Amino acid sequence: MSLKLPKAAGPQLFKDGYKIAQGTDDAVVRNIQAVHELAGIVRTSFGNGRNKIIINHIGKLFITNDAATIIRELDVVHPAARLVVMSSQQQESEMGDATNLVLIFAGELLNKAESLIRMGLHPSEITQGYEMAYDFALKVLEELVVYKVADLSSKDELIKAIKTAISSKQYGNEDFLADLVADAALTVMPKNPVNFNVDNVRVVKIMGGSLYDSKVVRGMVFARTPEGDVTKASKAKVAVFTCPLDISQTETKGTVLLHNAKEMLDFTKGEENQLEAMVKEIADSGVRVVVTGSSIGELTMHYLNRFGILVVKILSKFDLRRLCRVVGATPLARLGAPMPDEMGSVDVVETVEIGGDRVTVFRQENDITKTATVVLRGATQNYLDDVERAIDDGVNVVKAVAKDPRLVPGAGATEMELLKRVMAYGEKTPGLNQHAIKKFAEALEVIPRTLAENAGMDATEVLSRLYAAHHKNDEGVVGVDVEDERDGTVDAKAAGILDVLSMKHWALKLATDATLTVLRIDQIIMSKAAGGPKPPGQNPNWDED
């Protein structure tokens, strides 16, 4: 008979207030549930999905189905869910699209891992199987290429790649928007397309009118009017200043004693003469357009008007840099005549009225321009913001295709073919790893299933047809048809529903990496929160007018 000693209290490692979660139920399963919940939020926005209304911490309203915007504005605090959010943000910065795919796939992989843990598998065995399945999936992905964008200077070729990405954000307007994006991208396409810069395609949103009134301008558009009387210039030299266009003020204060009116008149005359000489110097150098990133003095404005110089104030230093790139000027930090190599040139600067708003357009008429601007029209600011996100995705697709022109079938066809082949690979793998490999394959089913559910179709029926079609042949081009509710399947290659291979590659990579990181966590230790006043809570009547 053993003598049972009373258990002594364990050593007090941490201060009071620490929280420790450990073990399968407390740490691993809770992490999995948190990520699954996050994936559930964005899952309904996938493909031709629903919009979300999000009101962020400063009360700004967002109506969007763009996963990158949704998770950026949601303040996710759960540490495991934040890991997946970081992966999704990395996808946004790397590729600019397919952020939702990362979140949904990571959530589904962890969901499948939970059932394996319940079966008795150790998380390290699951991670090993997932890694094997992931390596195999990437090899298979290379074999599923159905099209290559051969000529990046061809508008039709670019539209083939752009259209699918835009249709997931603006379903029904994808033809018009893909045409706009292709126009803008070709306007700024460098000789070597690999150097294509996303920043060279700008978007200006002007309320009113219809989306079909939108157009592409070769150059830059600023939503403000010139400061002076001159509103138009053509074939003009441009000077760009980052300093205020005014007489510099001294740091010390002085007292001047004036005895009569003549002394008072003479006092300001020296300043006026100095300023007039400076503006005359600028005018004599041939400059007809002045752009400043700071304030303009009244007296300077008077002389600029007198010499017929058009003046535009641009308060954003980033826009000022972009304009320098468009006109080929050097921004000056001193007031005075620029050197010939510091001046830029522009074909047309004009003030145009678009739907009641007056805007200033810097336009280059020749074939070479460094920046193109898409002028978007629409009924509400939220709608314009959402269209801008769609255009942003389209431009990012051009960048991705410039680096890797290979395209794979869209509409969930690629995922279904990967599922079939990874499942077959799992059947041939001996040992415990086969369970995890099969679950990895099953997780891929979430993409076509979600596409079918979000289109209001019977997902089980559509999936059974997809399984049958993919087992019948090895091309792997049959996907979900969101328009045909009777059959629900479509030949993605023939229909032109194509995804960029590099985006799929990165999404699979980042989702799997995030999943493996979460599965390797077995303990969460949270220190006591720092003191201080509590942040103000949300107004309980926020939704009342």
Residue 542's pLDDT is 62
* Complete DSSP assignment for 192-211: SGGG--GGGEEEEEEEBS-G
Burial profile 364-380: b = 16 or more Cβ within 10 angstroms, e = fewer:
beeeebbbbbbbbbbee
Compute the residue count for the chain.
545
Instruction: For each of the domains in the chain, give its residue range(s) and CATH number, in order of start.
Output: 19-146+409-526 (1.10.560.10), 217-249+259-378 (3.50.7.10)
Tokens at residue 103, please? Answer: 């979140």
Residues of the chain with pLDDT under 50: 1, 7-10
pLDDT, one tens digit per residue, over 136-193 is 888 888 888 888 877 777 778 788 888 888 887 777 787 888 888 888 888 888 777 7
Distance CA 374, CA 205 (A): 8
In three state form, how does the secondary structure of 397-427 look?
HHHHHHHCCEEEECCCHHHHHHHHHHHHHHH
Residue 30's pLDDT is 77
Q: Taking a C-beta distance cutoff of 8 angstroms, is the pair 322, 197 a contact?
A: no
Distance CA 77, CA 80 (A): 9
- State the DSSP code for 29: I
Distance CA 432, CA 376 (A): 55
* DSSP β-bridge partners for residue 234: 348
* Complete DSSP assignment for 326-374: HHT---BSS-SPPPGGG-EEEEEEEEEEETTEEEEEEE--SS--S-EEE
Q: Given the DSSP bridges, would you call strands 310-313 and 287-292 parallel, antiparallel or unpaired?
A: parallel
Residue 107's pLDDT is 86
Distance CA 95, CA 258 (A): 67
Distance CA 88, CA 84 (A): 6
Q: Taking a C-beta distance cutoff of 8 angstroms, is the pair 340, 319 a contact?
A: no
Residue 9's pLDDT is 44
Distance CA 382, CA 387 (A): 9
- State the DSSP code for 296: B
CB contact set of 296 (below 8 Å; sequence gap of 6+): 227, 244, 245, 246, 304, 311, 313
pLDDT, one tens digit per residue, over 247-289 is 666 556 667 777 777 777 766 666 677 777 777 777 777 788 8
